[in-house]
């Protein structure tokens, strides 16, 4: 037997206990919980028949069991990791491989930051009002591609596609030259809803299992040409990265705050009694240099409003649905969550490792991390979503079409 020691300044203290899916050299994927710098194999450590749900390669079966079970399991795990534990079920975090924690069902990405939406409006639609007339009445979103959601550490291949400079006569095909990130939080649906029903904002905690850090990779040149009038498609569908540890909603109680004042008052279905603004601080690193610290607490629309909105028409949501918050951008420039904003569409370079930079170059490595207040008086961490960008794949170009 052993006792798990937690470093005093750990972001993975007993008030966090995020879930992930890991494997080791001699055993395949199963669910673990992170404590300090250790990963506990839950099925093995708990050993009871109910714990068989953790011997699965994805969190979905556990998430589908619902909130009473999430609360009970958290209490049981808290007790387990606070006492003596079989050392056979404890691994150093550096000795395990982390995998995509969930089987992603549907993926919807929102646009919930007023600062980001205003910046993008100015950059993409100069001369018109930055916010569209609907923006303060509903959380705007688009459907993303769930099959290309990948876990932190997965290399991202630069996408190819059509793009057309405003002054060019015709589009050309080739690797994106304006590859960007979007620093976001992702919210995971644990318990779905059936078609014909809807979820109120105050039912959020019954349905949302937890949160991850998310990078919505965006090819701005492909996006700017394709998006009218139906919204982003291939400019974003090539990859979305998420962090491996899912922080349960129960761990975020101390982070709950009001959203900024919503004026005009939203329609009744977007109102509620519960506070679902979240005081989460993000940090964006570009090749190891911190280039931005986006504050989630300034987001205009809450995740509870996003979930209420996508079900208000009777659409069903499912276990494993992923809701991207939209880029987190604060009021100040050093809080903007995308390089298109930080460089003002490639006009004002950001200094990375002493060099002026605009968009992502091959070989660049991007990491986004996040922390929040924990219930123990300190902070809890989400860990990071990190990835390296590889050159565009050869041969993706149709024969006879020159790259430009």
Ligand X SMILES: O=C(O)/C=C/C(=O)CC(=O)CC(=O)O
Among 109, 114, 221, 384, binds Ca ion (CB under 5 A): 109
Tokens of 96: 């395990």
Check: CB of residue 246 under 8 Å from CB of residue 152: no
What are the residues facing 162 on neighbouring strands? 173
Distance CA 164, CA 159 (A): 15
Rounded to whole angstroms, the Cα distance separating 402 from 211 reads: 43
Residues between 313 and 332 with contacts to ligand X, criterion CB under 6 A: 326-327
User: What span, in angstroms and rounded, lies between the C-alpha atoms of 241 and 98?
Assistant: 13
| Closest CB 235 distance from Mg ion, rounded Å | 9
What is each CA distance from 376 to 78, 361, 380, in whole angstroms?
13, 41, 9
Q: What is the dihedral of CA 350, 351, 356, 359, to 10 degrees?
A: -40
Options 113, 193, 198, 240; binder of Mg ion; rule CB under 5 A: 240
Short-list 319, 321, 59, CA closest to 190: 319
Helix (H, G, I), strand (E, B) or coil at 304: helix
Among 216, 221, 281, 341, the residue binding ligand X under the rule CB under 6 A is: 216
Nearer to ligand X, 42 or 117 (CB): 117
Q: Which of 41, 106, 216, 321 binds Ca ion (CB under 5 A)?
A: 216
What is each CA distance from 358 to 139, 180, 347, in whole angstroms?
A: 29, 9, 8
Please say which residue, 216 or 321, places its beta carbon nearer to Mg ion: 216
From 71-79, 91-99, 151-159, 216-224, span contacting Ca ion (CB under 5 A): 216-224
Catalytic residue at 116?
yes
Query: Residue 128, Cβ neighbours under 10 Å: how many?
Result: 10
What is the total count of residues that contact ligand X (CB under 6 A)?
A: 13
With 0-12 / 13-18 / 19 or more C-beta atoms within 10 angstroms meaning exposed / middle / buried, residue 118 is: middle
Distance CA 327, CA 193 (A): 26
Contact 87, 1 (CB under 8 A): yes
Q: How many CB atoms lie within 10 A of CB 397?
A: 15
Q: Which does 240 bind (CB under 5 to 8 A by kind): ligand X, Mg ion, Ca ion, none?
A: Mg ion
Q: Is 341 in the site for Ca ion (CB under 5 A)?
A: no
Position 180 contacts Ca ion (CB under 5 A): no
The binder of 281, among Mg ion, Ca ion, ligand X, none, by C-beta within 5 to 8 A per type, is: none
How many angstroms separate the most distant Cα atoms in the chain? 71
Partner whose binding site includes residue 227, from ligand X, Mg ion, Ca ion, none (CB under 5 to 8 Å by kind): ligand X
Give, in order, the Cα–Cα distances in Å from 333 to each of 9, 141, 176, 341, 370. 29, 24, 25, 8, 18
Report in angstroms how near the CB of residue 124 gets to ligand X at its nearest: 5
Q: How far is the CB of 363 from ligand X (least distance, A)?
A: 24
* Structure tokens that stand for 67 in this block: 């909130």
Helix (H, G, I), strand (E, B) or coil at 63: helix
Binding-site residues: 109, 111, 125, 182, 184, 216, 223, 227, 236, 240, 327
Residues annotated in a binding site for Ca(2+): 109, 182, 184, 216
Q: From the annotation, which residues make up the binding site for Mg(2+)? A: 216, 236, 240
Q: Which of the residues 114 through 143 are near ligand X (CB under 6 A)? A: 116, 120, 124
Q: Which of 99, 116, 207, 309 is catalytic?
A: 116
216 binds Mg ion (CB under 5 A): yes
Which residue of 173, 227, 269, 344 would you call a contact of ligand X, by CB under 6 A?
A: 227
Restricted to residues 57-116, the positions that interact with ligand X (CB under 6 A) are: 109, 111, 116
Q: Which stretch binds Ca ion (CB under 5 A): 26-34, 177-185, 263-271, 394-402?
A: 177-185
Catalytic residues: 116
Residues at the contact surface with Mg ion, assessed by CB under 5 A: 216, 236, 240
Residues at the contact surface with ligand X, assessed by CB under 6 A: 109, 111, 116, 120, 124, 182, 184, 216, 218, 227, 232, 326-327
Residues at the contact surface with Ca ion, assessed by CB under 5 A: 109, 182, 216
């Amino acid at each position: 037997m052993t006792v798990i020691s937690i470093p005093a300044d750990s972001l993975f203290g007993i008030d966090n206990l995020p879930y992930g899916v890991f494997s080791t050299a001699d055993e395949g994927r199963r669910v673990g919980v992170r404590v300090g710098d250790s990963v506990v194999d839950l099925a093995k450590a708990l050993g009871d028949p109910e714990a068989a749900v953790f011997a699965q390669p994805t969190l979905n079966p556990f998430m589908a069991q619902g909130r009473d079970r999430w609360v009970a399991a958290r209490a049981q795990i808290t007790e387990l990791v606070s006492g003596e534990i079989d050392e056979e079920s404890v691994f150093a975090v550096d000795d395990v491989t982390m995998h995509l924690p969930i089987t992603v069902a549907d993926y919807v990405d929102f646009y919930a930051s007023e600062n980001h939406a205003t910046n993008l409006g100015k950059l993409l639609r100069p001369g018109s009002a930055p916010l569209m007339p609907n923006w303060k009445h509903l959380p705007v979103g688009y459907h993303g591609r769930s099959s290309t959601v990948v876990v932190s550490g997965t290399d991202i291949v630069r996408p190819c596609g059509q793009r057309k400079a405003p002054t060019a006569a015709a589009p050309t095909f080739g690797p994106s030259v304006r590859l960007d990130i979007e620093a976001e939080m992702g919210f995971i649906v644990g318990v779905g809803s059936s078609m014909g029903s809807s979820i109120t904002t105050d039912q959020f905690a019954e349905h949302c299992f937890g949160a991850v850090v998310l990078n919505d990779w965006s090819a701005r040149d492909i996006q700017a040409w394709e998006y009218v009038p139906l919204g982003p498609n291939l400019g974003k569908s090539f990859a979305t990265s998420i962090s491996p540890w899912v922080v349960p909603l129960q761990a975020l109680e101390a982070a709950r705050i009001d959203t900024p004042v919503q004026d005009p008052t939203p329609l009744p279905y977007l109102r509620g009694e519960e506070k679902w603004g979240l005081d989460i601080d993000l940090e964006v690193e570009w090749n190891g240099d911190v280039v931005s610290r986006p504050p989630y607490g300034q987001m205009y629309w809450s995740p509870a409003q996003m979930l209420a909105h996508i079900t208000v028409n009777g659409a069903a949501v499912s276990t494993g649905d992923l809701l991207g918050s939209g880029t987190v951008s604060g009021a100040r420039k050093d809080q903007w969550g995308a390089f298109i904003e930080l460089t003002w569409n490639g006009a004002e370079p950001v200094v990375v490792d002493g060099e002026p930079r605009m968009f992502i170059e091959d070989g660049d490595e991007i990491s986004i991390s996040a922390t929040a207040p924990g219930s123990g008086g300190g902070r809890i961490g989400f860990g990071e979503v990190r990835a390296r960008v590889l050159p565009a794949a050869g041969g993706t170009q149709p024969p006879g079409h020159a790259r430009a």
